[in-house]
Structure 1
Amino acid sequence: MSNFLIYEQNGPIVTLTMNQPEQRNPLTGNSAVPEFLAAIDRIHDDRQVRCVILTGNGPSFCAGGDIREMKRQALPEVSEMDIRHEYRRGIQRLTLSLFDLEVPVIAAVNGHAIGAGLDLACMCDIRIASEKAKFAESFIKLGIIPGDGGAWLLPRIVGMSRAAELAFTGDMIDAEQALAINLVSHVVPHDQLMTTALGLAARISQHASHSVRLTKRLMREALHSRLDTVLELSAVFQAVAHKTPDHSEAVDAFLEKRPARFI
């Protein structure tokens, strides 16, 4: 039985809800990582899924790492190589797995997204914030560094200068400040957060699944590839897309002035 993550599916939309509100939904010191990995595998295997929403129960989205777990890692009997192994086999597996998920992921940030919680939101494709949301890249305040990929993720979203300011100060910002630096796409009243996220997921899900998946993959590859490489990959993906039944249906629907009916 799941102890951390609630998996709910309504048609093509999956909602993943982190569900340890008393501990502010931490990613360490519990079963969060294996449950995330299992959920992501389940989504990969279900071709009907077209969009994912990630949110948290309680006042926080995700508090990041468990402080008690950090205290354990500081014990003399826990070596540096032990900690390295724990990161590589733990939170970093979540980073790679969530970042590489083919279907779009919307982070519906309901409250505090702190440290690894902010980086978790950055692993998603789109971030929508409740007016109650707070954000901090707070590792520096605990004398550690973003061990989960935040140093790669955050600058690509807000730019190097803003990312450096957040990482070097550990300052907390509110939802409107997050919107101003493009960390989030929208800020909405707290009671409208999930309605807004579900509406966006529905707009994404109405399109051909293969086209959305290939577009996401192309955008991911473009983050670290040259233009000529991305153009070559685009040609290959486009050739595949042109030969799909969904493309033929989309063209027919456009010409016939009717909604497309995708499989």
Structure 2
Amino acid sequence: MDNVTLDVADGVATVTLDHPEMRNALTSGVATDLIDAMEAVPDDARCVVVAGNGPTFCAGGDIDAMVEGVEGDEPAHDRVERIVEETAGAVRAVATCDLPTVAKIHGPAYGAGGALAIACDLLLASEDASISFGFRQVGLNVDSGASQLLPRIVGENVAKELLYTGELIDADRAEAVGLFNHVYPDDEFEGRVAGMVDRIASGPTVALKQSKRLVEQGPTGSPVSYTHL
């Protein structure tokens, strides 16, 4: 995997988007490698951390590739649909992981990058983190699972506001509306995240996996569908 790294230590599998020159955007290569990394998480892992290398967590989908589709020989609609599905597949790989998952967020998580972040169970952020679901800014409807995942976290009305405006919200507001579980000072970020992750990884893995499944079934007892992620 050239664009994503997988490191496993003490039961914690850390999956890092490693394409900082593209701000860790979910290009075809990054999306494919992310899926491969999630599939490669070992059976004895107890928790998965999703992070980004460099100053950006994830800049979203590969808009440049979509523009190339408009200007190139491949029909624009076909190319955009293919890229959107590749991006959604990467988010789906994280959302359907049966282990506890933690998004380790510094810098922006934008568009599909925001969807990738909320595909995780917990979002731990530094003070310089921000998040946006700015699909409207590039002329796209909400995708990559955000239409299902976002209302479950912040409620339907706040989800609609964030989607309609595409606002890039800072860490404090993201914590206030329930998107970020915790915001840590920049100089404490690494240690505080490690402490929370270690606490999760030290728990009873089978029970935590079952608890995750039950919570995701919701109050009706109906399993969450990831068909449209």
- TM-score, with structure 1 as normaliser: 0.79
Count of residues in correspondence between the two structures: 222
Does the alignment pair 1:34 with 2:32?
yes
The one-letter amino acid paired with 1:187 is V
CA pair 179-64 structure 1, distance change in 2 beyond 3 A: same
Structure of higher RCO (CA pairs closer than 8 Å, 6+ residues apart): 2
| Residues 248-259 of structure 1 aligned to structure 2 (within 5 Å) | none
The CA distance in 1 between the partners of 2:188 and 2:52, in whole Å, is 15
**Cα RMSD, aligned residues only:** 1.8
**Secondary structure at the residue paired with 1:220?**
helix
Residue of structure 1 aligned with 2:220, choices 202, 205, 226: 226
User: Once the 2 structures are TM-superposed, how far is the Cα of residue 86 of structure 1 from its aligned partner?
Assistant: 4.0
Q: Which has the higher helix share?
A: 1
Following TM superposition, by how much is the alpha carbon of 1:207 offset from its aligned partner in structure 2, in angstroms?
A: 1.7
Structure 1 contact 106–197 (Cα < 8 Å) conserved? no
1:61 is paired with a residue whose SS is coil
Instruction: Decide which moves more: 191-200 or 122-131.
Output: 191-200
1:101 CA displacement? 0.5
Give identity over the alignment, percent.
32
1:192 equivalent in alignment to 2:188: yes
Q: Is the 8 A contact 1:108 1:193 kept in 2?
A: no
* Deviation string, structure 1 residues 140-166 (Cα, Å, up to 9, x no partner): 111112221111111111111111111
User: Which residue number in structure 1 is paired with residue 226 of structure 2?
Assistant: none
Does the C-alpha gap of structure 1 residues 191 and 49 become closer, same or farther in structure 2, counting only changes over 3 Å? same
* d(CA) in 2 for partners of 1:167, 1:72: 25
2:120 match: 124
AA of the residue aligned to 2:77:
E
Pair member with larger Rg: 1
CA offset at residue 82 of structure 1? Answer: 4.6
Question: For residues 44 and 31 of structure 2, what CA distance do their matches in structure 1 show?
Answer: 24
Q: What is the deviation of 1:79?
A: 4.5
Give the equivalent residue in structure 2 for 1:261.
Answer: none
